[in-house]
Structure 1
Amino acid sequence: MKLDKYTVGKRYGKALFELAIENEAADAVYQELLTIREICKEIPDLGNILTDVRLEGAEKKAIMDAFTGGFDGIVKNFLLVVFEYNRSDDLPFMIDEFERRYDEMNKVAHGTVTTAVPLSEEKKHELEAKVADVFGYQKASLTPIVDESILGGVIVEADHQVIDGSLASQLNGLRAALSKK
């Protein structure tokens, strides 16, 4: 049975996270994975190249040696296992799963904040602090989204929860209440 990329990513990411915790190296491994994520963004076809059946084994190995040259220990071994099992194109999913577990361990919430106008950095940081407090996390990292259709206020989505304080939502609620009378 062939597994989808998300399932593969979850399994490998979980295994790497558990190994990193066991070796008390979660922070170091996470930093190296961030570097790998950047490399994957700079060379988006890297995973496809390393799994391409048209390339000779020696060619792939040369590319892999260049790729893993800057890493050592757990991360290098992880990359070699991923390469050996022909899963290099699933690396971003593996990194995402590791990061999800790492953030959960460090009580960091990720989410979005939607506003009608762009937020200043100061307001964004203020909102992140409030969201972290409301959801019981030590820190929140919110990606700003501008959507003029909400008219005003904010919509925060984090930790699989939504706080809708938008003016559009409030007006729709008022309309619904008035139409019932």
Structure 2
Amino acid sequence: MKLDKATVGKRYAKALFELATEVHEEQAVYEQLLVLRQVFIEVADLGEILSDVRLEMTEKKAILSALTPSFDPLIQNFLAVVFEYNRMDDLLLIIDEYERRFDDKQGLIIGTVTTAVELTAQQKSAIEMQIAPLLGYEKAQLTEQIDPTIIGGVVVEANHQVVDGSVKSRLEELRMKLSE
């Protein structure tokens, strides 16, 4: 059975995170993964190139060996496993999932807050302080989005959860109740 990319990302990230936790290197691994992510963003096709069956194995290994010397042995070994199982094109998903696990352990939830108008720094901070405990975290880091169609209020999306306090959704609820 072929696994979807999200499942692959979660499995590899979980294994790496557990190993990093075991050796008390979660922070160091996280920092190196951020560097690796930047490389894979700047060279957009790198994952596909390293997973492409049309490219000779020696050529792919040469690319990988040029990429890995600056990383700690833990990351080097991890990349070797990902490479061996031909999952280099899933590396960004793996890094994203590791980051989510790392943030979870830090008590941090990352998400978005959508409002009809731009928030002040104080308003954004207040929302972050209120939403974190509501979702079971110590702190929240929210990226702002502006959507005038919500009319007013806020919509917070984080960790596959949505807290919708928008005027638009309240009006839709009222409309449904009135139509019953």
Give yes or no for TM over 0.5. Answer: yes
Map of 2:70 onto structure 1: 70
Residues 46 and 170 of structure 1: is their aligned pair in 2 closer, same or farther, counting only changes over 3 Å? same
2:46 is equivalent to residue 25 of structure 1:
no
Map of 1:106 onto structure 2: 106
Task: Identify unmatched segments of 5+ residues in structure 2.
Answer: none
TM value normalised by structure 1: 0.89
Amino acid at match of 2:54: R
Residues 136 and 2 of structure 1: is their aligned pair in 2 closer, same or farther, counting only changes over 3 Å? closer
Residues 4 and 174 of structure 1: is their aligned pair in 2 closer, same or farther, counting only changes over 3 Å? closer
Map of 1:146 onto structure 2: 146
Give the match's secondary structure for 2:111.
Answer: strand
Give the match's secondary structure for 1:24.
Answer: coil
Amino acid at match of 2:66: A
Give the drift of 1:116.
0.8
- Is 66-75 or 12-21 further displaced after alignment? 66-75
2:86 is equivalent to residue 59 of structure 1:
no
Instruction: String of CA shifts for 1:84-117, please: whole Å, max 9, x gaps.
Output: 2211111012112212222222211122211112
Residues 71 and 156 of structure 1: is their aligned pair in 2 closer, same or farther, counting only changes over 3 Å? same
Map of 1:93 onto structure 2: 93
CA–CA distance in 2 between the matches of 1:179 and 1:54? 60
Task: Identify unmatched segments of 5+ residues in structure 1.
Answer: none
Map of 2:12 onto structure 1: 12
- What's the C-alpha RMSD, in Å, of the aligned pairs? 1.8
CA–CA distance in 2 between the matches of 1:173 and 1:2? 41
2:157 is equivalent to residue 157 of structure 1:
yes
Residues 20 and 121 of structure 1: is their aligned pair in 2 closer, same or farther, counting only changes over 3 Å? same
Give the match's secondary structure for 1:157.
Answer: strand
Map of 1:43 onto structure 2: 43
Amino acid at match of 1:102: F
| Percent of residue pairs identical | 57
CA–CA distance in 2 between the matches of 1:174 and 1:4? 40
Give the match's secondary structure for 2:71.
Answer: coil
- Is 169-178 or 126-135 further displaced after alignment? 169-178
CA–CA distance in 2 between the matches of 1:35 and 1:42? 11
Give the match's secondary structure for 2:113.
Answer: strand
